[in-house]
Chains A and B, each alone.
Chain A
Amino acid sequence: MTGFSDGYREPLRKDRSSMVNVAVITGISLVAILFRVYVSRFVPYLQYLELPLLVTVYFSLMWRSPIAGLLFGAAIGLAQDSLSHHELGMFGIVKTLVGYFAASVSLRVDVGNPLLRLVLAFFFFFFHQLLYWVLARALLGEALEFEVVQVLVLAILNAIVAVFLFQLLDRLKITG
């Protein structure tokens, strides 16, 4: 009797745990987007902090599944597109690729190392900005400027924030 009930409860516990994880992941994604929408109103410099990108990179690295990473990137990118003036799909495409590549990298290296996380966050921020600029020019014909020095500085700052943010997210122990 006891053995049966234990075996019966195990899937329920797993289901509940995965539901909590989904809720936490959704909440974190919404907070990341809300940060861009709301907090940057009062501290304009914080608009350069790409929290939706950092969250995409983190979950893609942790899940080690390219499909999960690219789908998460697409979802958060499309949500970000929806809250901007331009056409839907720009952030979606860029973050899809970021999610895919981040997850692919995580299959080959240990992504728990803070130094490696710093480098990866720096690289993916630069890649994100460059790809967005290329797509905006190529697909929408927008004359956006790409200031390499500024993007590099912002990439460093975002990477530093990413190290601490990833540590904070590690404590939540979200398995996906």
Chain B
Amino acid sequence: MEFFLSRYRNLSVLVAAILAQLVLLAYQVRTHGDVRLIRVWAVGAVTPMARVIETSRSGVSHFFSDYFVLLDVRDDNKRMKAELDRVKMENQYLRTELSTADRAHSLAIFQEHSPSKTVAAHIIGNDTGVGTKEVFIDRGSNSGIAPGMAVITPDGIAGKVVRVFSTVAQVLLVTDANFAAGVISQNNRVHGTFKGQGYDGVGKIEHVQNEQKVDQGEWFYTSGDDRIFPKGRPVGEVTTVRQGKTEKEIYISLSGFKNGFEEVLIIVEGVHAPIPDAPVTDQGVHLLAPPPPDSGGPLTVAQPLQTGPVSTDADRIKERYRKFGEQTNHVYGERSNGAPNYNAPAKPEPKP
């Protein structure tokens, strides 16, 4: 035996190392357990460095962005003094404020208005696995984070906490192939299961029968069925929907990463919300209510039916005719100036 070990020392150590790791793997697979000690060591060695680098990077980044913003403001002030237009200056100020409102600010506003109790966190690193989509965040059990908690952004769902350490936690992103969540469609209230696809920006809705109705452009929200995400959080918009063998093939563009992905919120205490009836708008921008109609007198020109942006060819043609009609004082598509109604149903011809 001694001769064998000394003769094949390298091979013996190799076999021992491989066997030890195989036993370790078998133990984890069989018991669904985790060797927490080794993970704590590795996470404890790497994440503090990642945290320091991330803090330095974001500090430098904010410094430079603030610096350039200040430069812009200085230039703007010079221009404004030259123009001496108070209204324009106010307008420019508001525009600058809007453009410089960073994600952290909008996240704080969202956090303040969200009914769920949330904890804000920074992403400090990626997972090292092959083909997995996971990140490390700078909040752990010390901040009340627990495995299974939902992770969101103001624009939608982002992932769920899978492993927690004292100061950091590991988050499985919605784009990971192993991620799943219960969802419901906005218009037709069709229930399904959202699955990540392993690549960014796209997800799939499964378990929707061919007979059920889902429209392209329809939004999917969390249904709350998975007991992780509270009901009513946006997931994404349907980009492709087609009939499959028995179930529909539905792909959605994820809304959670729309405005970047550096800060997230972890839902510590979730509150279910109703599915909104109106389509999701950009939640980062506040829009004023439309102005009241002019009280000077009755409108002489008929208002177009469409108030939003021109989107189809028919809309563009209609818009062109409306403008032309304004110049020639004629309303196209209306029975004005004694024009015959060409859209009226034709009278039946008298029988001979």
Contacts and interface: CB of A to CB of B under 8 A. Distances in A.
A97 interface: yes
B127 A84 contact: yes
Contact of A88 (B18, B35, B130): B35
A87 interface: yes
B53 A38 contact: yes
B42 A83 contact: yes
A78 B172 contact: no
Contacts, number: 130
Categorize the interface residue count of chain A: 35 or more
Interface string B119-142: 000011111111110111000000
Interface in B1-43: 9-10, 13-14, 17-18, 21-22, 24-25, 28-29, 34-35, 38-39, 41-43
Interface residues of B, number: 45
B128 A87 contact: no
Contacts of B135: 41
Contact of B39 (A34, A36, A66, A82): A82
Chain A interface SS verdict (over half)? helix
B14 A30 contact: no
B136 A89 contact: no
Contact of B43 (A71, A82, A136): A82
Contact of B10 (A47, A66, A91): A66
A118 interface: no
Contacts of B163: 85
A54 interface: no
B50 interface: yes
Contact of B129 (A33, A67, A84): A84
Interface of A: 30, 33-34, 36-38, 40-41, 44, 47, 52, 66-67, 70-71, 74, 78-93, 96-97, 100, 104, 129, 132, 136, 139-140, 144
